[in-house]
Chains A and B, each alone.
Chain A
Amino acid sequence: EVQLVESGGGLVQPGRSLKLSCLASGFTFSNYGMNWIRQAPGKGLEWVASISSSSSYIYYADTVKGRFTISRDNAKNTLYLQMTSLRSEDTALYYCARRLPGAFAYWGQGTLVTVSS
Protein backbone atom coordinates (compact mmCIF):
# COMPACT_ATOMS: atom_id res chain seq x y z
CA GLU A 1 0.00 0.00 0.00
CA VAL A 2 1.32 3.41 -0.97
CA GLN A 3 1.83 5.62 2.07
CA LEU A 4 3.05 9.21 2.23
CA VAL A 5 3.62 10.79 5.62
CA GLU A 6 4.45 14.49 5.84
CA SER A 7 6.12 16.15 8.80
CA GLY A 8 7.90 19.35 9.75
CA GLY A 9 5.04 21.83 9.75
CA GLY A 10 4.45 24.34 12.50
CA LEU A 11 4.16 27.99 13.46
CA VAL A 12 6.88 30.21 12.01
CA GLN A 13 7.41 33.96 11.88
CA PRO A 14 7.33 35.84 8.56
CA GLY A 15 10.71 35.85 6.88
CA ARG A 16 11.88 32.69 8.62
CA SER A 17 12.51 29.23 7.17
CA LEU A 18 11.04 25.77 7.58
CA LYS A 19 11.80 22.37 6.06
CA LEU A 20 9.09 19.81 5.35
CA SER A 21 9.65 16.09 4.87
CA CYS A 22 7.57 13.35 3.28
CA LEU A 23 8.42 9.73 4.02
CA ALA A 24 7.24 7.34 1.33
CA SER A 25 6.56 3.62 1.55
CA GLY A 26 4.75 0.89 -0.35
CA PHE A 27 6.36 1.60 -3.71
CA THR A 28 9.79 2.03 -5.27
CA PHE A 29 10.33 5.68 -4.42
CA SER A 30 13.28 6.12 -6.77
CA ASN A 31 11.08 5.29 -9.78
CA TYR A 32 8.61 8.15 -9.37
CA GLY A 33 8.52 11.89 -9.62
CA MET A 34 7.07 13.58 -6.55
CA ASN A 35 5.18 16.76 -5.84
CA TRP A 36 4.19 19.26 -3.17
CA ILE A 37 0.67 20.69 -3.26
CA ARG A 38 -0.78 23.12 -0.73
CA GLN A 39 -4.19 24.24 0.43
CA ALA A 40 -4.72 27.47 2.33
CA PRO A 41 -7.35 27.21 5.09
CA GLY A 42 -10.81 26.99 3.54
CA LYS A 43 -9.38 27.50 0.05
CA GLY A 44 -8.57 25.50 -3.07
CA LEU A 45 -5.55 23.49 -4.09
CA GLU A 46 -2.32 24.89 -5.48
CA TRP A 47 0.48 22.85 -7.00
CA VAL A 48 3.77 24.07 -5.48
CA ALA A 49 6.68 22.06 -6.86
CA SER A 50 7.67 18.84 -8.55
CA ILE A 51 10.85 16.80 -8.85
CA SER A 52 11.63 13.94 -11.20
CA SER A 53 12.72 10.51 -9.99
CA SER A 54 16.45 11.26 -10.31
CA SER A 55 16.16 14.97 -9.44
CA SER A 56 17.07 15.92 -13.00
CA TYR A 57 13.92 17.96 -13.57
CA ILE A 58 12.55 20.39 -11.01
CA TYR A 59 9.68 22.84 -11.42
CA TYR A 60 8.11 25.46 -9.18
CA ALA A 61 4.96 27.54 -9.09
CA ASP A 62 5.69 31.21 -9.72
CA THR A 63 4.39 32.02 -6.24
CA VAL A 64 7.27 30.14 -4.57
CA LYS A 65 10.06 30.29 -7.17
CA GLY A 66 13.28 31.56 -5.64
CA ARG A 67 12.06 30.94 -2.07
CA PHE A 68 11.27 27.20 -1.95
CA THR A 69 13.54 24.28 -2.86
CA ILE A 70 12.29 20.77 -3.51
CA SER A 71 14.70 17.88 -3.10
CA ARG A 72 14.71 14.16 -2.43
CA ASP A 73 16.87 11.41 -0.92
CA ASN A 74 16.09 8.17 -2.70
CA ALA A 75 18.16 6.16 -0.20
CA LYS A 76 15.89 7.41 2.58
CA ASN A 77 12.64 7.32 0.56
CA THR A 78 12.11 10.93 1.55
CA LEU A 79 10.96 14.06 -0.24
CA TYR A 80 11.76 17.52 1.12
CA LEU A 81 10.58 21.09 0.76
CA GLN A 82 12.88 23.78 2.09
CA MET A 83 10.89 26.98 2.51
CA THR A 84 12.62 30.32 3.08
CA SER A 85 11.45 33.93 3.31
CA LEU A 86 8.07 32.69 4.40
CA ARG A 87 5.04 34.98 4.03
CA SER A 88 1.59 34.95 5.56
CA GLU A 89 0.20 33.80 2.23
CA ASP A 90 2.27 30.61 2.51
CA THR A 91 0.05 29.52 5.40
CA ALA A 92 -1.47 26.25 4.23
CA LEU A 93 -1.73 22.52 4.62
CA TYR A 94 1.12 21.07 2.58
CA TYR A 95 0.58 17.71 0.92
CA CYS A 96 3.10 15.52 -0.82
CA ALA A 97 1.69 13.58 -3.74
CA ARG A 98 2.76 10.97 -6.26
CA ARG A 99 1.52 10.93 -9.80
CA LEU A 100 -0.13 7.98 -11.47
CA PRO A 101 1.79 9.25 -13.76
CA GLY A 102 -0.22 12.27 -14.85
CA ALA A 103 -2.89 12.52 -12.19
CA PHE A 104 -2.02 12.89 -8.50
CA ALA A 105 -3.08 9.42 -7.45
CA TYR A 106 -1.58 9.24 -3.96
CA TRP A 107 -1.60 11.92 -1.29
CA GLY A 108 -0.34 12.20 2.26
CA GLN A 109 -2.50 13.63 5.04
CA GLY A 110 -0.64 16.92 4.98
CA THR A 111 1.38 19.02 7.40
CA LEU A 112 0.17 22.45 8.48
CA VAL A 113 2.40 25.48 8.06
CA THR A 114 1.28 28.68 9.77
CA VAL A 115 3.21 31.86 9.07
CA SER A 116 2.41 34.48 11.67
CA SER A 117 4.13 36.86 14.07
Chain B
Amino acid sequence: DIQMTQSPSFLSASVGDRVTINCKASQNINKYLDWYQQKLGEAPKLLIYNTNSLHTGIPSRFSGSGSGTDFTLTISSLQPEDVATYFCLQHNSGSTFGSGTKLEIK
Protein backbone atom coordinates (compact mmCIF):
# COMPACT_ATOMS: atom_id res chain seq x y z
CA ASP B 1 0.00 0.00 0.00
CA ILE B 2 1.13 3.55 -0.72
CA GLN B 3 1.75 5.74 2.33
CA MET B 4 1.47 9.53 2.23
CA THR B 5 3.58 11.67 4.55
CA GLN B 6 2.27 15.21 4.84
CA SER B 7 4.15 18.13 6.42
CA PRO B 8 3.94 20.23 8.42
CA SER B 9 1.10 19.08 10.66
CA PHE B 10 0.49 22.63 11.81
CA LEU B 11 1.26 25.94 10.18
CA SER B 12 0.79 29.51 11.36
CA ALA B 13 1.27 32.34 8.88
CA SER B 14 0.29 35.96 8.33
CA VAL B 15 -2.17 37.34 5.84
CA GLY B 16 -0.37 37.88 2.56
CA ASP B 17 2.30 35.25 3.25
CA ARG B 18 3.26 32.58 0.75
CA VAL B 19 2.46 29.20 2.27
CA THR B 20 3.62 25.76 1.19
CA ILE B 21 2.42 22.33 2.30
CA ASN B 22 4.17 19.13 1.26
CA CYS B 23 3.23 15.53 0.64
CA LYS B 24 5.62 12.69 0.03
CA ALA B 25 4.50 9.34 -1.34
CA SER B 26 6.17 6.06 -0.38
CA GLN B 27 6.46 5.18 -4.07
CA ASN B 28 5.97 6.79 -7.46
CA ILE B 29 2.38 8.00 -7.91
CA ASN B 30 2.99 9.73 -11.25
CA LYS B 31 0.77 12.83 -11.34
CA TYR B 32 -2.15 11.40 -9.36
CA LEU B 33 -2.08 13.67 -6.36
CA ASP B 34 -4.92 15.94 -5.25
CA TRP B 35 -5.30 18.63 -2.57
CA TYR B 36 -8.38 19.23 -0.43
CA GLN B 37 -9.41 21.99 1.94
CA GLN B 38 -11.63 21.23 4.92
CA LYS B 39 -13.05 24.06 6.99
CA LEU B 40 -14.39 23.39 10.47
CA GLY B 41 -17.68 21.54 10.34
CA GLU B 42 -17.68 21.20 6.56
CA ALA B 43 -17.01 18.46 4.04
CA PRO B 44 -13.65 18.49 2.25
CA LYS B 45 -13.47 20.55 -0.91
CA LEU B 46 -11.29 19.70 -3.90
CA LEU B 47 -8.75 22.41 -4.69
CA ILE B 48 -6.19 20.85 -7.04
CA TYR B 49 -6.33 17.57 -8.95
CA ASN B 50 -3.66 15.60 -10.78
CA THR B 51 -0.84 17.62 -9.21
CA ASN B 52 -1.50 21.02 -10.76
CA SER B 53 -5.01 21.34 -12.23
CA LEU B 54 -7.15 23.94 -10.47
CA HIS B 55 -10.67 22.69 -9.78
CA THR B 56 -13.61 24.80 -10.92
CA GLY B 57 -14.18 27.93 -8.86
CA ILE B 58 -10.95 27.71 -6.85
CA PRO B 59 -9.00 30.99 -6.56
CA SER B 60 -5.81 31.23 -8.54
CA ARG B 61 -3.74 31.87 -5.39
CA PHE B 62 -3.85 28.09 -4.92
CA SER B 63 -1.43 26.05 -7.03
CA GLY B 64 0.13 22.61 -7.02
CA SER B 65 3.41 21.20 -8.22
CA GLY B 66 5.55 18.10 -8.08
CA SER B 67 5.94 14.70 -9.66
CA GLY B 68 6.75 11.13 -8.77
CA THR B 69 6.88 11.11 -4.98
CA ASP B 70 7.13 14.76 -3.89
CA PHE B 71 4.32 17.26 -4.17
CA THR B 72 3.57 20.76 -2.93
CA LEU B 73 0.49 22.90 -2.43
CA THR B 74 1.22 26.62 -2.52
CA ILE B 75 -1.00 29.47 -1.43
CA SER B 76 0.60 32.53 -3.00
CA SER B 77 -0.96 35.12 -0.71
CA LEU B 78 -2.71 33.81 2.38
CA GLN B 79 -6.20 35.13 3.02
CA PRO B 80 -8.24 34.93 6.25
CA GLU B 81 -10.74 32.59 4.60
CA ASP B 82 -7.95 30.08 3.95
CA VAL B 83 -7.96 28.99 7.60
CA ALA B 84 -8.64 25.26 7.30
CA THR B 85 -7.08 21.83 7.35
CA TYR B 86 -5.52 20.71 4.08
CA PHE B 87 -5.20 17.09 2.97
CA CYS B 88 -3.42 15.48 0.07
CA LEU B 89 -4.73 12.33 -1.64
CA GLN B 90 -2.99 9.89 -3.95
CA HIS B 91 -5.14 7.92 -6.40
CA ASN B 92 -2.48 6.27 -8.50
CA SER B 93 -2.99 2.97 -6.70
CA GLY B 94 -6.02 2.81 -4.45
CA SER B 95 -6.75 5.98 -2.51
CA THR B 96 -4.63 7.21 0.40
CA PHE B 97 -4.97 10.52 2.21
CA GLY B 98 -2.22 12.43 3.94
CA SER B 99 -2.60 13.13 7.65
CA GLY B 100 -3.49 16.80 7.18
CA THR B 101 -2.04 20.26 7.79
CA LYS B 102 -3.91 22.65 10.04
CA LEU B 103 -3.39 26.21 8.84
CA GLU B 104 -4.06 29.20 11.02
CA ILE B 105 -3.57 32.94 10.72
CA LYS B 106 -0.81 34.40 12.91
Q: Hey, which chain B residues are within 8 Å of A107, CB to CB?
A: 43-45
Q: Which residues of A contact B (CB under 8 A)?
A: 35, 44-47, 50, 59, 95, 100, 102-105, 107-110
Q: Hey, which chain B residues are within 8 Å of A102, CB to CB?
A: 32, 34, 49-50, 91
Beyond A44-B97, A47-B97, whether A100 also contacts B87 by CB under 8 A is no
Residue pairs across A and B with CB atoms within 8 Å: the count is 51
Q: Which residues of B contact A (CB under 8 A)?
A: 32, 34, 36, 42-46, 49-50, 55, 87, 89, 91, 94-100
Which of B42, B55, B95, B96 is close to A105, meaning CB atoms less than 8 Å apart? B55
Establish whether residues B34 and A109, one from each chain, have CB atoms under 8 Å apart when the complex forms: no
Establish whether residues A103 and B44, one from each chain, have CB atoms under 8 Å apart when the complex forms: no
Chain A binding surface, main DSSP class: strand
Establish whether residues B43 and A103, one from each chain, have CB atoms under 8 Å apart when the complex forms: no
Q: Which residue of B lies closest to A109 (CB)?
A: B43
**Can you list 29 residue pairs at the A/B interface with Cβ under 8 Å?**
A35-B95, A44-B87, A44-B98, A44-B100, A45-B44, A45-B87, A46-B97, A47-B94, A47-B95, A47-B97, A95-B43, A95-B44, A100-B49, A102-B32, A102-B34, A102-B49, A103-B34, A103-B46, A103-B49, A103-B55, A103-B89, A104-B46, A104-B89, A105-B46, A105-B49, A105-B55, A108-B43, A109-B43, A110-B43
Establish whether residues A103 and B87, one from each chain, have CB atoms under 8 Å apart when the complex forms: no
- Nearest CB on B from A63, distance (A): 11
Q: Which residue of B lies closest to A4 (CB)?
A: B43
What separation, in Å, do the CA atoms of A104 and B46 have in the docked complex?
7
Q: Hey, which chain A residues are within 8 Å of B98, CB to CB?
A: 44
Q: Which residue of B lies closest to A95 (CB)?
A: B43
Establish whether residues B97 and A45, one from each chain, have CB atoms under 8 Å apart when the complex forms: yes
Q: Hey, which chain A residues are within 8 Å of B89, CB to CB?
A: 45, 103-104
- Nearest CB on B from A61, distance (A): 8
Q: Which residue of B lies closest to A101 (CB)?
A: B91
